[in-house]
């Protein structure tokens, strides 16, 4: 009890509050507030704690995943999306959001030229506003490949906003989960101190005055 008293100070020992019904009522309200605040803190922490290369484990990179895939696979993105990991964009050590909707409309293959016929079909299917014929699509995609200075493995939709070498699958590691739990724990502890300060240094002070 001595340790708890030090952790949760501001307690008045000079007055007997235990036999006051309103004090017991405030104790119940206090615990309800604390539990609610802790739950809210956990919810907020899920969106505020940044995912970085420090607190996540990077599993796959879309470019490398595609590069090492079989040349017979026309589009590796469906398999990439089925890896049961979170997907994001790794830039400057931070994981950013990407739209999986537009990622699914992109095309990746370890042999785009060899699969250009089927790649063109997928390209036209994923971009219904483009009214090119299949032959025109093949010609346009081939021209893009011809102008590349290095081997291309993907045609990523502009809406994705991330290049294939930065699109990664990842899993949150123990460090993230510690941050996720400790941040709400610390904020809840501070919240408890504020409530106790208001109660004992404000409300109880008004009723009983200074400590005897």
Give dist(CA 80, CA 66) in Å, integer: 9
Considering only residues 159 and 205, tell me which one the structure prediction assigns the higher pLDDT.
Answer: 159
Residue 156, burial from CB neighbour count under 10 angstroms (0-12, 13-18, 19+)? buried
- How many Cβ atoms are within 10 Å of 44's Cβ, its own excluded? 13
DSSP assignments along the chain, one per residue: -HHHHHHT-----SS--TT-HHHHHHHHHHHHHHHHHHHHHHHHHHHHSPPBTTTEEEEEEHHHHHHTS-TT-S--HHHHHTSSSEEEEEETTEEE---HHHHTTSEE-TTTTTTHHHHHHHHHHH-TT----HHHHHHHHHHHHHH-SS---EE--GGG-S-TTTEEEEEE-HHHHHHHHHHHHHHHHHHHHHHHHHIIIIIHHHHH-S--
User: Lowest-confidence range among 11-25, 81-95, 130-144?
Assistant: 11-25
Give dist(CA 163, CA 89) in Å, integer: 8
Average pLDDT over residues 50-74: 94
- In this predicted structure, what is the pLDDT of residue 128? 87
Where along the chain do its domains lie?
Answer: 2-49+174-208, 56-172
Handedness of CA 31, 32, 34, 38 (dihedral sign): positive
Mean pLDDT, rounded, of the chain: 89
Q: What pairs with residue 52 in β-bridges?
A: 94
Let me know: does 59 contact 171? Beta carbons within 8 Å: yes
- In this predicted structure, what is the pLDDT of residue 202? 84
Give 33-50 pLDDT, tens digit per residue: 999 999 999 999 888 899
Band (8; pLDDT cuts 50, 70, 90): low
> Of the candidates 151, 172, 167, which has an alpha carbon nearest to the alpha carbon of residue 102?
167
Give dist(CA 185, CA 152) in Å, integer: 47
Considering only residues 106 and 2, tell me which one the structure prediction assigns the higher pLDDT.
Answer: 106
- In this predicted structure, what is the pLDDT of residue 207? 82
């Amino acid at each position: 009890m001595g340790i708890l008293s030090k952790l949760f100070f501001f307690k008045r020992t000079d007055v007997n509050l235990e036999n006051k019904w309103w004090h017991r009522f405030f104790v119940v309200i206090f615990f309800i507030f604390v539990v609610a605040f802790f739950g809210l803190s956990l919810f907020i922490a899920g969106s505020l704690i940044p995912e970085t290369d420090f607190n996540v484990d990077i599993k796959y990179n879309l470019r490398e995943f595609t590069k090492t895939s079989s040349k017979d696979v026309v589009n590796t993105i469906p398999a990439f999306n089925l890896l049961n990991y979170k997907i994001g964009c790794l830039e400057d050590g931070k994981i950013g959001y990407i739209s999986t909707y537009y990622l699914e409309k992109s095309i990746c293959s370890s042999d785009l030229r060899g699969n250009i016929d089927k790649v063109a079909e997928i390209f036209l299917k994923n971009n219904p506003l483009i009214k090119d014929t299949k032959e025109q699509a093949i010609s346009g995609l081939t021209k893009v490949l011809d102008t590349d200075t290095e081997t291309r493995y993907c045609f990523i939709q502009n809406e994705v906003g991330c290049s294939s070498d930065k699109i990664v699958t990842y899993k949150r590691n123990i460090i993230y989960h510690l941050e996720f739990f400790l941040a709400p724990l610390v904020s809840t502890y501070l919240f408890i101190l504020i409530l106790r300060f208001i109660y004992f240094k404000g409300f109880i002070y008004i009723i009983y005055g200074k400590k005897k």
